[in-house]
Amino acid sequence: MEPDHSAGPPHRRRKRYQGTHPRRFEEKYKELNAERFPDEVAKAQARGSTPAGAHLPVMLDEVMQALEPLSGATVLDCTLGWGGHAARISYAVGPAGSVIGIDLDGEELVRTEKRLRRRGAAVVVRRGNYAGAAKVLRELKIYDVDALLADIGVSSMQLDRPERGMSFKTDGPLDMRMDRSRGETACEWLARADEAEIAAALSRFGDEPDAAAIAAALAGLAAKGRSPRTTRELAAAVGVAKKLGAGRFLKKDAFSSHPAARTFQALRIVVNSEHEALAQLLRDLPWLLRSGGRAVLLTFHSGEEALVGGALGAQTTAGLWRAPLVEPRRPSPEEVRLNPRSRSARLWRVVRV
C-alpha cells in the first residue's frame, strides 16, 4: 500500500537527549531550529521571551523611518549582528543603492552572511570594530555614506549561547569577548584586577549599588586562587555578596532584572573596551556622512546614553548636526511585550548639515 502524503511531509522527531529533561542549550530550545519548528518562535514571544539563539531587530520600523530616504542610498550598518536591520535596509535601498555591514564577532558574522544570502539581501560584509568604521569604508573606496546605523547593544545570539559566557541564563566559561580570537577573558581580568578596579568598573559600567561588596567578594576569591571561571560561579559569588538566598536569586519573569545582570554587563563592557570604541565612533561620526546624511544610534543603558547624548549635543552646538538635538525615542509598549530585551532601548537620530 502506497503511503498517503496528502497531509504534508512526515513528522520529524526531535533529536533525543540523555536523561528525562534536556540540559544542553542546543537541545533545550526548539526555536534554535526555526525552519523545522517555526511555531516555537511565536510561542517564545507569546510568553514574553526572546526566542533562544535568535535576535529580534530592535525598533525596526522606527529605525527605517529615521534612516529615510533610502532609495538608492549607500548605508553603513556598524553592528550587523543577526542582520535584521540590514536585510530591511537592503530591500529599501534597491539595486541602485548599497549596504555595508561590519561586525566584530567573526563567529556570528559567518552565520549572518549565509542568512542574508539565503534571504536575497545584498549586503557587503566586513569584519571589524565600529571604532574602525572609517578604515572599513576607505578600504572599500567609499569616503562617506548617506545613512549610518549603530545598534550598540549586545545581540541575543551572544547572550544566549553558553560558550560565549555573557549570561547567567546558562552555565558556560566566563569569556565575554566579542572576538574570541584575541584579548583577555572576563575570567582572566577578574583574576588579575584588584578590588578597587573591580568596584570602579561595576559602579561606572553597571550602576551596581552593591559594587563595593561584590568587588570585595570577587577580590577575596581571586586572592585564594578561586576566582570565578564559569558564569554560574560568577552569579553565585554575586548572590553571596548581596546576601541573597537561592530562592530570591531567581528571575521571576522575562521583565524582571536578575541580581547579577549589572555585574555581567559591567564586565562585558570592560573586556571589550566598549566605551572606548563608542567614543571613537562618535568622534568620527560627522565625517562618515555626506551633507544631509542621517545617523541613527541605539543605546541600551545609562553609560551609553551619556556618551552618545554628550557627543551629539556638543557636535550639534558646533554646527555639525541640524539643531535642535531631539530627545531619543523609546520602543512601543507592544514591542516591549513581544521582546522584553528591547525595553531599555533608546533611538537617537541626527542629520548632517
Q: Name the pLDDT band for 316 (thresholds 50, 70, 90).
A: very high
Residues 72-93, mean pLDDT to the nearest whole number: 96
* C-alpha closest to that of 155 among 251, 49, 76, 80: 80
Q: Residue 25: what pLDDT?
A: 47
Q: Name the pLDDT band for 48 (thresholds 50, 70, 90).
A: very low
Question: What's the Cα-to-Cα distance from 71 to each of 98, 139, 259, 342, 350, rounded to whole Å?
Answer: 10, 24, 45, 28, 19
Question: 40-45 contacts: CB < 8 A, separation 24 or more?
Answer: 45/338, 45/339
Cβ neighbors of 261 (< 8 A, separation 6 or more) are 168
Q: Is the pLDDT of residue 31 over 50?
A: no
What percent of the chain has a predicted confidence (pLDDT) above 70? Answer: 81
What is the spatial distance between Cα 46 and Cα 334, in angstroms, rounded to a whole number? 11
The residues of the chain that CATH labels 1.10.150.170 are: 182-271
Q: Is the pLDDT of residue 52 over 60?
A: no
pLDDT in tens, 223-244: 999 999 999 999 999 999 999 8
Taken in order 212, 214, 217, 219, the sign of the CA dihedral is negative
Q: Residue 160: what pLDDT?
A: 83
Q: Residue 44: what pLDDT?
A: 55
Q: Residue 159: what pLDDT?
A: 83
Q: Residue 136: what pLDDT?
A: 97
The CATH architecture of the domain made up of 60-156+274-351 is: 3-Layer(aba) Sandwich (3.40)
Residues 49-58, mean pLDDT to the nearest whole number: 67
Grid cell in block for residue 130? 565600529
What percent of the chain has a predicted confidence (pLDDT) above 90? Answer: 73
The residues of the chain that CATH labels 3.40.50.150 are: 60-156+274-351
Residues 196-211, mean pLDDT to the nearest whole number: 97
3-state secondary structure the chain: CCCCCCCCCCCCCCCCCCCCCCCCHHHHCHHHHCCCCHHHHHHHHHCCCCCCCCCCCCCHHHHHHHHCCCCCCEEEECCCCCCHHHHHHHHHHCCCCEEEEEECCHHHHHHHHHHHHHCCCCCEEEECCHHHHHHHHHHCCCCCEEEEEEECCCCHHHHHCHHHCCCCCCCCECCCCCCCCCCCCHHHHHHHCCHHHHHHHHHHHHCCCCHHHHHHHHHHHHHCCCCCCEHHHHHHHHHHHCCCCCHHHCCCCCCCCCCCHHHHHHHHHHHCCHHHHHHHHHHHHHHHEEEEEEEEEEECCHHHHHHHHHHHHHHHHCCCECCCCCCCECCCHHHHHHCHHHCCCEEEEEEEC
Residue with cell 559602579: 203
Q: Which of 30-39, 70-79, 259-268 comes out lowest in average pLDDT?
A: 30-39
φ, ψ dihedrals at 281, nearest 5°: -60, -40
Q: Is the pLDDT of residue 3 over 90?
A: no
Residue with cell 540523555: 18
Q: Is the pLDDT of residue 290 over 80?
A: yes
Q: Residue 153: what pLDDT?
A: 81
Q: Residue 248: what pLDDT?
A: 56
Q: Residue 216: what pLDDT?
A: 98
Q: Is the pLDDT of residue 185 over 80?
A: yes
Exposed, middle or buried by CB within 10 Å (0-12, 13-18, 19+), for 229? middle
Residues 181-210, mean pLDDT to the nearest whole number: 96
* C-alpha closest to that of 343 among 297, 308, 305, 299: 299
Residue with cell 548599497: 98
Q: Residue 276: what pLDDT?
A: 97
Q: What is the mean pLDDT of the chain?
A: 87
Q: Is the pLDDT of residue 47 over 60?
A: no
Q: Residue 20: what pLDDT?
A: 47
pTM of the model: 0.83
How remote is the C-alpha of 135 from its chain's centroid? Answer: 22
Residues 268-279, mean pLDDT to the nearest whole number: 97
CATH topology of domain 182-271: DNA polymerase; domain 1 (1.10.150)
More confident: 272 or 50: 272
Q: Is the pLDDT of residue 301 over 70?
A: yes
Q: Which of 28-42, 124-138, 312-326 comes out lowest in average pLDDT?
A: 28-42
